[in-house]
Amino acid sequence: MSLKLAIGILTIAMTNVSGIAVAQDSTENSTQTATGCLQKSQTANIYMLTDENGKMWDLRSKTVQLGPHVGHTVAVTGIIPEDSKGSSDTTPQNHLLVTKLDMVRDSCKQP
């Protein structure tokens, strides 16, 4: 009896975790993490990161200094901002307001 209960609880827990992950990937104002090579864009205070899947991220931050990490492989975490027009469009965006940065390597080259 306790094995069935444990399996049931595990199934419910896994379903909830999967639901959260899907919701974070598809809704606005969701937290995202991307790892890749940090580069400076041509626009002031905007940086670019190409993640491991080839997706280009437009990065900005008022709290994390991105400049010192240009040319490094970093993992950034941040919020996808709500569409400035107030749209309810849930198309994946590539803008990220960075709240955390962890350096992975001091270069963009694979070891």
The DSSP call for residue 107 is: S
Would you say the pTM of this structure is higher than 0.75? no
Residue 89 pLDDT class (50, 70, 90 cuts): low
- Residue tagged 């270069």 (tokens): 107
| CATH topology assigned to domain 2-105 | OB fold (Dihydrolipoamide Acetyltransferase, E2P) (2.40.50)
Asked if 43 contacts 59 with a C-beta cutoff of 8 angstroms, the reply is: no
Q: What is the mean pLDDT of residues 18-25?
A: 31
For 45-83, how does the pLDDT look when each residue is reduced to its tens digit (9 = 90+)? 899 999 888 899 999 999 999 999 999 999 999 998 876
Q: For tokens 């990220």, what's the residue?
A: 96
pLDDT of residue 43: 87
Domain range summary for the chain, segments of one domain joined by +: 2-105
Query: What confidence category does residue 92 fall into, taking pLDDT thresholds of 50, 70 and 90?
Result: low
Give the Cα separation of 27 and 88 in Å (integer): 9
